[in-house]
A and B are shown apart, each in its own frame.
Chain A
Amino acid sequence: MIKVNNISKSFGDKKVLQDVSCEFQSGKVNLIIGTSGSGKTVFMKCLIGLYAADAGEILYSGVNFGQMDDKDRKDIRQQIGMLFQGSALFDSMTVEQNIMFPLDMFTKQSITDKRKRVNEVLARVNLVDANKKYPSEISGGMKKRVALARAIVLNPKYLFCDEPNSGLDPQTSLVIDKLITEITKENNITTVVNTHDMNTVLESGDHIVYLHQGLKEWEGNNKDIIHSTNQRLNDFIFASQFMKDAKAKQMEEEMKKRV
């Protein structure tokens, strides 16, 4: 579990995050949503320690991340897996070498065991026969799956995904969402996803935090979001006519059931 207490972050005079508090439970897909410039990425970078928050605290299983010494911070980072927006695969390494890299660095397993683990995670993300390919030789969707495989190869307790669906077609986006959800439930991982993909929000959002101009504006889940009366959230989620109609239809059906 990750608990965030009143964190704030500014760059010069610009307040990017203001007094944000929330709790990310394990075994759930926790989403951070918001318009561009709302502070989602900065929030996630604060959570993983790439930015230091100006105020507030971030607790990983009750331990304050900001007050950890370098060694403890390194230890906690080895329990974190991260799926980056652009995949962040190492260009000079093959798919297998990319996934094996954390195992090489932090375990003393034999090469046979490491290969076995790599094949396991590749099979888990439904990617076979790609071991010897370089990142430049595979598609965007495959890159995301390789990055996800690398993120989970050390069995992390925490998984962070920064816009996992950006640049992907809707079908591949659904595959990635499904994988993230399944892996989260199977391994009881605390997963935090930064997204503005509405399919992800409505399909996978076990817990959703909506940010607007650095402030937490709304918190709930994918069931609550349909009934939300928050105007800004509604404008953001149901921006298109299609989504507005879908919401109206859903509300109508629920009303009929009640009657």
Chain B
Amino acid sequence: MKLLSHIGRYLQMLGGMFAKPENMRVYGKEFFHQCNEIGIGSMWIVIIISLFLGAVTTVQTAYQLISPLVAKYVIAQIIRDSSFLELSPTIVCIVLAGVIGSKIASELGNMRVSEQIDALEIMGINSKTFLIMPKILAAFIVIPSLVILSMFLTVWGGYMAGTMTGIITDAQFHQGLIKDFLTFNIVFGIIKAFTFAFIITSISAYFGYNVQGGSLEIGRASTTSVIVSCVLILFADYGLAALLLTK
């Protein structure tokens, strides 16, 4: 019953978000502000995670490929495909659910508790449109961009770890990168990034927007939003894989 109530209120919030902006210029400014907040604020963690994910994948793949019958370039193929299909979109978005999700939930929660959302409503501003819509639109631009950046950095991290430790040669790595390359894998990763971007921002906005109480409840909302976002990302991850990758 409680779950149904949450779903209903979540859908109501999304429905209430679609209204004509009172002033496009102010909304545009808010959109760019959110792009900066979400993008620049999370870029460094994405860079660090991606480089290490690539490096670790290279070392662990090489460790498991003990058969002399398997060519070395397969390591590069595995890094490429696991990065495009899973590591960059899913792992990075789970990290972003923590970084961006908790920030959005606590920001909106604080605005609710300190009556800033009421102040917007009293001014005649649709608070859902003004506060949530720019965040979701910004995430649609920024999160897929971060995922694309992560895809390249993961492969580069793998290349650096592989060539510097002598696991794989430069030529073998390049051979593996281009062999049986499917553009669809990148498209699939980007589709996942869009889906996860929507989940992260809308779920955290829902929990933050509906906070009731004080600082303790803001903290709870922030934690709940991260947990729910992560679980939904994993559900969506499986759903999209089953839908788009099964033949």
Residues of A within 8 A of B (CB): 48, 50, 73-78, 80, 82, 84-86, 88-91, 101-102, 104-106, 160
Contacts and interface: CB of A to CB of B under 8 A. Distances in A.
B116 A90 contact: yes
A160 B114 CA distance: 17
Nearest to B33: A92
Contacts of A86: 114-115
Interface residues of B, number: 15
A74 B20 CA distance: 12
29 contacts: A48-B122, A50-B118, A50-B121, A50-B122, A73-B124, A74-B124, A75-B124, A76-B124, A77-B123, A78-B123, A78-B124, A80-B122, A80-B124, A84-B119, A86-B115, A88-B114, A88-B115, A90-B116, A91-B110, A101-B123, A104-B25, A104-B26, A105-B22, A105-B23, A105-B26, A106-B22, A106-B23, A106-B123, A106-B124
B128 to A, nearest CB: 13
B17 interface: no
Contacts of A73: 124
Interface in B104-157: 110, 114-116, 118-119, 121-125
Contacts of B115: 84-86, 88
A76 B124 CA distance: 8
Nearest to B114: A86
Nearest to B121: A50
Contacts, number: 51
A114 to B, nearest CB: 12
A50 B115 CA distance: 11
Nearest to A70: B19
A76 B121 CA distance: 12
B12 to A, nearest CB: 15
Contacts of B26: 104-105
A105 B118 CA distance: 16
- Which of B110, B114, B115, B124: most chain A CB closer than 10 A? B124
Nearest to A82: B122
Contacts of A102: 123
Contacts of B116: 88-91
A88 B125 contact: no
Contacts of B124: 73-78, 80, 106
- Which of A88, A104, A106: most chain B CB closer than 10 A? A88
A78 B27 CA distance: 18
A107 B119 CA distance: 18
Contacts of A76: 124
Contacts of A50: 118, 121-122
Contacts of B23: 104-106
Contact of A82 (B22, B110, B119, B125): B119
Given A82-B118, A86-B115, A90-B119, 14 more contacts: A50-B118, A50-B121, A77-B122, A77-B123, A80-B122, A88-B116, A88-B119, A91-B110, A91-B116, A101-B123, A104-B23, A104-B25, A105-B22, A106-B22
Nearest to B22: A105
B122 A105 contact: no
A111 B26 CA distance: 13
A89 B124 CA distance: 16
A235 B38 CA distance: 55
Contacts of A106: 22-23, 123-124
Contact of B123 (A85, A91, A105, A160): A105
